Structure 1
Amino acid sequence: MPARTWPTIVAHADMDAFYAAVEQLDEPSLRGRPVLVGPRSGRGVVLTASYEARPYGVGSAMPMARALRLCPGAVVVPPRFERYEAVSRRLMAALADFSPRVEALSLDEAFVDMTGSEHLFGPPGRMAERIRAAILEATGLPASVGVSATKYVAKVASAAAKPHGVEIVPPERAAAWLAPMPVSRLWGAGPVTAERLRAAGFERIGDIAAAPPARLEAALGRAWRHFLDLARGIDPRPVARRRSAGSMGSDRTLGRDVADREDIVRHLTRAADRIGRRLRRKGCLAHGVRLRLKTADFRLLTRQRRILPTDAAGDLLAGAESMLDALIRSGPFRLVGLAAFDLERGSGMRQLDLFDGAVRGRRLERVVDAVDERFGPGTLRRGRDVSNAVVVGSSPTLDFVELEEDG
């Protein structure tokens, strides 16, 4: 029986170029070719670039127009989120065979608590290989796996293992292994924080690990302890058993900018319909709504508010419209988005029965759900969408799910 040598063992599995890999799996003609997943509109952004596209300098979040200039031979494929969610379910099921403690970070990555399982799966290196093989068998797709004693180091390790690799970082080597990496690799160090650290003379993670606390506090304020611990390979957070959707959203980059309130509301209406349908399908209620608008000069404006628990599009739209007036003067806008947040599963359903209007609206939306299910999306449309139709070209809708801890 293999000896237990680490106090904790955490694996981080991360699919490689997930959306693009799914498209190449489903369409063999795309294999070996540079693939960009995202809206075909040049105004959209790249969601994922296949590894064949990356040598050209193309990456996620890059404007599609620029990506196509860098890689003119790339194939642009619109996203299929329902398909990605289906593959994600297979991924999480495969990981659950290794441990009851699986914490999903997104559709394509998760932590797995492997502590105490050496007698089942062998030492950490063997664990990583078995996890990678199980993912390949379950999904047909490659993944990279990092293993260490903490979540943070395991996540950095899986990134270092890409593509299609394994990286094992024993706890006694974690600080030295992290030391030469740039400060931008610290969990929570976004562009602003990373620049502040560099301005204070911290270029590498090892600089943080060796710095006097007073100097770090001067540069980072109350967050100094967090970054010092990470730099030294310390991360006490356990792997959570479950995670649930913290928000569901729908963003649309438009073919041309819009400034008129009626046009903006029309896009918000369609987003609310999509989100409401997904909430009902998953048995969730939203306690909040978030409005997202991106201006022509790429400034992202957001507002959010709490609402009574709902899965009805009309309630989501009403919440969004109540916040729109505070932002509309900043237009025109190139992106219109909406998200429902603070979700709960089913437990608040009876609260809807207290409001007759909500019940009627919800019943109507369920009728529309049933018709769409039988005859296809868009079979029934709102009257104002038809009678006041103003065609505004747009890229495909980018629906998304964000995750947060379930308690």
Structure 2
Amino acid sequence: MDAYYAAVEQRDNPELRGKPVAVGGSAARGVVAAASYEARAFGVRSALPSVTAKRRCPELIFVKPRFDVYRAVSAQIREIFAEHTDLIEPLSLDEAYLDVTENKQNIGIATEIATLIRARIKEVTGLNASAGISYCKFLAKMASDLNKPNGQAVITPAMGPGFVATLPVKKFHGIGPATAAKMENLGIETGADLREKPLAFLQEHFGKAGGWYYRIARGSDDRPVQPDRPRKSIGAEDTFTSDIFELEVAKAELAPLVAKVWRHCEDRGFSGKTVTVKVKYADFQIITRSRTIHGSIRCEGKLRELAVSLLEATFPASKGIRLLGITLSSPVSESDTLEAQLSLPI
């Protein structure tokens, strides 16, 4: 979807249409969750600190997120996908992979399917979508950004290796700024540079990810579309209107985040064994503290206990805290749970 959260807000509030809109944050605190294309023209992007966004675009309008609405619209879009295929792998509320090799309407051209889906989304939701069509997930993702907004692009098997060769590695999906900088220090600036490096070299410098970089440099990605991809984590975070310096205040702010995470865990039947607490300071430095237990966390009280102990380890704070977050991860399977039960002493 194109500028999804912001587009929903502009759809529902005519006064926002044609204006620079940022969802999330405020003029003084927080970060931008999504930005309209009018705001992007000023360099406003998601994850940008709100104060920086306002500096870049003085006319920027901040809107509180309405995730219940975004989820409802996302469900409508999923229903449209399901008219064509059951092989749907959601990445987020506004993005998904679809395998249309075999599709319910027996349409032989993937670009035609993408055009139909985009038109149907516009008809049902009033929102614009863009599509990328290719023979593998990596290139479909890269193609989806080529003709945004409200467009689509194709990367054929014949085009794939050449497309990757000319692409700067910093634009590769899944390669962040730190990894891109490391690659550039190793003389790797484009896909062609990456393809020249032997597998052993990439594994030496990037570990397990080296094999992945070796394959995508050749336009190769054999990952299937996974309709039932299991959730790996559930988290929540909050940015405060005033910086926090005291432990007791931080504990009080952490409590509702713990409750929110546990509520989502119960709703989704999710169970995990690793708790991570995230702390962002006033200067935007971020630290995390994690702990993994044997078995699984079975109640909100245990989650709170572990989160508080991790938070305490970050005090005394030498600078103000502007954001706290908590995540439960390392999903526990039924076999893990059964093993833990059987290991209990009698």
TM-score (normalizing by structure 1) = 0.76
Counting strand residues as a fraction of each chain, which structure ranks higher? 1
Matches within 5 A, 1:197-236: 197-213=183-199, 216=202, 220=206, 223-236=209-222
Q: CA deviation at 1:136?
A: 2.3
Pairwise CA RMSD: 2.7
Q: Distance in 2 between matches of 1:94 and 1:221?
A: 40
1:34 to 20, 42, 45: 20
Which stretch shifts more, 125-134 or 322-331?
Answer: 322-331
1:113 to 96, 99, 103: 99
2:119 to 133, 155, 163: 133
Matches within 5 A, 1:328-367: 328-331=315-318, 332-343=320-331
Matches within 5 A, 1:4-403: 15-117=1-103, 120-213=106-199, 216=202, 220=206, 223-306=209-292, 309=296, 312-331=299-318, 332-343=320-331
For residues 118-146 of structure 1, the C-alpha deviation after alignment (integer angstroms, 9 at most, x for no partner) is: 97123122122122123223432111100
Q: Distance in 1 between matches of 2:112 and 2:181?
A: 39
What SS does the aligned partner of 2:237 have?
strand
CA contact (8 A) 2:271 2:296 kept: yes
Q: Distance in 2 between matches of 1:177 and 1:298?
A: 36
Q: Distance in 1 between matches of 2:270 and 2:208?
A: 36
Q: Distance in 1 between matches of 2:25 and 2:133?
A: 35
CA contact (8 A) 1:34 1:53 kept: yes
Count of residue pairs brought into register by the alignment: 338
Q: CA deviation at 1:241?
A: 2.0
Q: Using a 3 Å threshold, how does the CA distance of structure 1 residues 277 and 225 change in structure 2: closer, same or farther?
A: closer
Q: Distance in 1 between matches of 2:207 and 2:61?
A: 46
For residues 182-214 of structure 1, the C-alpha deviation after alignment (integer angstroms, 9 at most, x for no partner) is: 111224322122112112222211222244556
CA contact (8 A) 1:144 1:158 kept: yes
Q: Distance in 2 between matches of 1:216 and 1:288?
A: 30
**Unmatched tracts of structure 2, length 5 or more:** 340-346
Q: CA deviation at 1:345?
A: 9.9
CA contact (8 A) 1:296 1:334 kept: yes
Q: CA deviation at 1:343?
A: 5.0
Amino acid at match of 1:36: A
Query: What's the % identity of the aligned pairs?
Result: 38
CA contact (8 A) 2:90 2:227 kept: no
Q: CA deviation at 1:117?
A: 3.7
Q: Distance in 2 between matches of 1:311 and 1:133?
A: 45
CA contact (8 A) 2:247 2:316 kept: no
